[in-house]
Structure 1
Amino acid sequence: MTEQTTINFYEKRDFGQKVNLTFSFIRLTYRSLFRNLLLFAAPIFVLSGVLGAVNQLDGMASFSGNVMFTLLITYFLYAVGTVFSAIIAGKHILIYQKEGRIDISTEEMMTFFKNDFFKIFITSFIYYLIILVGSVLLFIPGIYLAIALSLCMMIRILNPEAELSFSFKESMRLIKGNWWASFGFYFIIGIISYVFALVFMIPYLASLAFIGITSPAGVANEGFRFLVILTSAIGQLGYAFTTCIPFVGISIYYYSLREQKDDVNMQLQINEIGNIAEVKTSNEGSY
C-alpha cells in the first residue's frame, strides 16, 4: 500500500524538531520497522545476549581462553546486528522519501541486505577502527573523529551508489561547522535510546547483582544460571527494537545537514521547473 508522502526530509530543522521527527517517523512506520527488526536483527542480538551472559557467568568464576573466544564472537554478532538495524532503519527512510511507502516486505528487505550488508559492515569496521586508532594515539582525536565521521554508514545506506571514500569525505564535509551541534544531538538521542534499552535490561542486571550478593565466588547454580541467560536474551530482544532510534535520528540529521549545506530543496524545485518547461516545449513542437 502506498501512502502519500507528508514528511520532507530535506528541511532545515532545529534540535527539537529533529528529535521529534525521529520519533514521529518511528511511530509512522513502526509496524514494518519493528517486524523487520524482529525477523532479522533481533535473533542476532538475542544470540549475542545468550553468549554474553554465558561469558559473564564463566568470567565471574575464572577467565580463560574460552571466555575470550566467546567474547569475540559476542562482539562480532553485536556488530552484525547493529549493521542489520542500520540498514532496516535507513531503508525505511529511503523508501518513504522516494516512494512514500511506509512498509517494506521481508523479501524486499532481504534484497537490501544482499546488496548492502557487506559494504556497510566494512564501512562500520573502518569507522570504528579509525576511532580506535585515534583514541589510542590521543583520546581527543578519537572523540573528534567519532562525530566527524558519524554519518558514513547512513550516507552509504541512503545513497546506495556512494563509494566508501565518498561516505567519509561527505560526512566530514557535512559535520564541518556543526561538530558541537552534532555532538549534542547524538548525546540526547543516545541517552533516550539507552534509557529505553535499560528498561529491558533491568531483569538481567538484577539477576547478576543477586548472584554477586548470594555467591561471592560468582558461581551460580543451574537454576540461577538459566535465569541470567534468559533475562539477558529478553533484554537483547528489547534492545533490538531500540536500535532503530539512533539510526533514524542520524538519517534525519543527515538530510537536515544536506539542506543546510546544499539547498537541496531549491535544486529540486529548479529541476522540476526545468522538467515542466521541457515538457511544454516538447508539446509545442508536436503541433
Structure 2
Amino acid sequence: MVNFYEVRDFGQNINALFEFLKTQFKPLFMALLRGAGIFLLISALAGSYYQNVVIQAGGKPYGLSDGYFLSNGVFLIAVVMFIVSSVVSSMAVYSITLHYIKAYIRNPKDIDIEAVVSDSRQSWGTMFGITILFSLIVGIGIVFCIAPGIYLAVALSLAYPIAILEDGRSVGEAFSRSRKLIQNNWWSSFGYFFVVSIIFGMISSILSVPTAIFSIVTMIRDASDLMKMLNAIAYGLQIAASALLGAGIIVGVAVLYGSLRESVESVNLAAQIDSIGRTSGISLDKKDDEDEDY
C-alpha cells in the first residue's frame, strides 16, 4: 500500500510512483477504459486516418502547394476530431486518475470504479481550465526567457492534484497552493520531474518504434494496402498508449504533492492525532458511564 501523505526523498518518491502503478494498474486501467475509452478510440481512429492520408500523399503532411488537404473535407473533419478528442481524452485521463487516487487514499481496499468515473466527469472543466491557464502562463514565461517558463512550469505543476484532492479548490487557489508547496522545494521537485519525464519519455519512444518502422517502410517502398493499414493501426495504438502514459505522469505529480504537503503541513500526522483524540474520547465516555452505573 502506498501512503501518499508521507515525507519521502527523491528515490522514495520514484519507488512510490511505480509501486502504485504496479499494484493498481488493472483497476486504474479499467477506470480509464470506462471513462475515457470512447475518446481515446476516436482520437486513435482520427489519427490513423490522418496517417493513412499523409502516406498516400507521399509523406507531405500539409500539402498546401496542391491544395489537396484543404480541399479534402473528410481530412479536415478528421483533423478537427483528432484535436478535440485528444484534448477531451487528456482531461478525462487526468481527472479519472486523480479521482481514483482520491478514492484510494480514503479506502485502498474498496474502490468503486463507477463512482470514480462519475465523479471525474464533474472535474473536466477544472482540468481544462488548469491546462489552458498553465499553458498560457508557462508559454508567456518561455517567450520572455526560457528560464522563467521552466520555473513556472515546476512551481504550478501541483495544481492538478490540489484541485481534485483538496475539495472545493478553484483554479486560482490550486495555482496559489502549488506555488506555496513548491516554494522551498523547487530544485528537488525539478529533479524529480526531470527524471520522471525521462522515464516516461523512454517508454513512449519504445512504443513508437513499430510506428516509425512501418512509416519508413511504407514511404520508401511501394507499400501494399495491407502495409498502409497496419501502419495506420500502429499509429492509432501509439496515440492511445501515449494518452494512457499521461495517467502515469499525473500519478507521479500526485505522489510529489502528497510528500510535499505532508512535509509542509503534516496532514497525515494531524489526522493520526485527531484519530487518537476521538478514540480516547470514546473510551473516556464509556468509563464515565460505567462509573455512573456503579
Matched with 2:86 is 78
Gaps of 5+ in 2: 55-59
Q: 1:148 and 2:171 equivalent?
A: no
CA contact (8 A) 1:155 1:167 kept: yes
- 1:97/1:189 Cα in 2 relative to 1: closer, same or farther (>3 Å)? same
Matches within 5 A, 1:25-36: 25-36=20-31
Would you say how many aligned residue pairs link Structure 1 and Structure 2?
A: 277
- Structure 1 runs of 4+ aligned residues shifted over 6 Å read 66-69
1:93 Cα deviation (Å)? 1.7
Matched with 2:106 is 98
The amino acid of 2:174's aligned partner reads: S
Between stretches 147-156 and 263-272, larger displacement belongs to 263-272
Q: Taking structure 2 as the reference length, what is the TM-score of the superposition?
A: 0.83
Matched with 1:116 is 123
Q: 1:186 and 2:181 equivalent?
A: no
Paired residue secondary structure (1:160): coil
CA contact (8 A) 2:46 2:78 kept: yes
CA contact (8 A) 1:88 1:109 kept: yes
Matched with 1:52 is 47
Q: Percent identity?
A: 27
Q: 1:256 and 2:254 equivalent?
A: no
The amino acid of 1:272's aligned partner reads: S
Question: Aligned equivalents of 2:117 and 2:21: distance in 1?
Answer: 20
- 1:184/1:110 Cα in 2 relative to 1: closer, same or farther (>3 Å)? same
Question: Aligned equivalents of 2:48 and 2:186: distance in 1?
Answer: 37
Question: Aligned equivalents of 1:249 and 1:102: distance in 2?
Answer: 22
- 1:119/1:241 Cα in 2 relative to 1: closer, same or farther (>3 Å)? closer
Paired residue secondary structure (1:100): coil
Matched with 1:3 is none
The amino acid of 1:78's aligned partner reads: S
CA contact (8 A) 2:96 2:117 kept: no
Question: Which structure: larger Rg?
Answer: 2
CA contact (8 A) 1:8 1:97 kept: yes
CA contact (8 A) 2:3 2:105 kept: yes
Question: Aligned equivalents of 2:224 and 2:61: distance in 1?
Answer: 13
1:78 Cα deviation (Å)? 2.0
Matched with 1:209 is 216
Q: 1:246 and 2:249 equivalent?
A: yes
CA contact (8 A) 1:193 1:246 kept: yes
Question: Aligned equivalents of 2:33 and 2:169: distance in 1?
Answer: 28
1:239-287 deviations in whole A, cap 9, x for unaligned?
3442221111111110000011112233223322332344345446653
1:25-54 deviations in whole A, cap 9, x for unaligned?
112112211112223334423432333344
Q: Taking structure 1 as the reference length, what is the TM-score of the superposition?
A: 0.85
Matched with 1:236 is 239
1:70 Cα deviation (Å)? 4.9
Paired residue secondary structure (2:61): helix
Question: Aligned equivalents of 1:172 and 1:62: distance in 2?
Answer: 44
The amino acid of 2:84's aligned partner reads: F
- 1:143/1:69 Cα in 2 relative to 1: closer, same or farther (>3 Å)? farther
CA contact (8 A) 1:200 1:234 kept: no
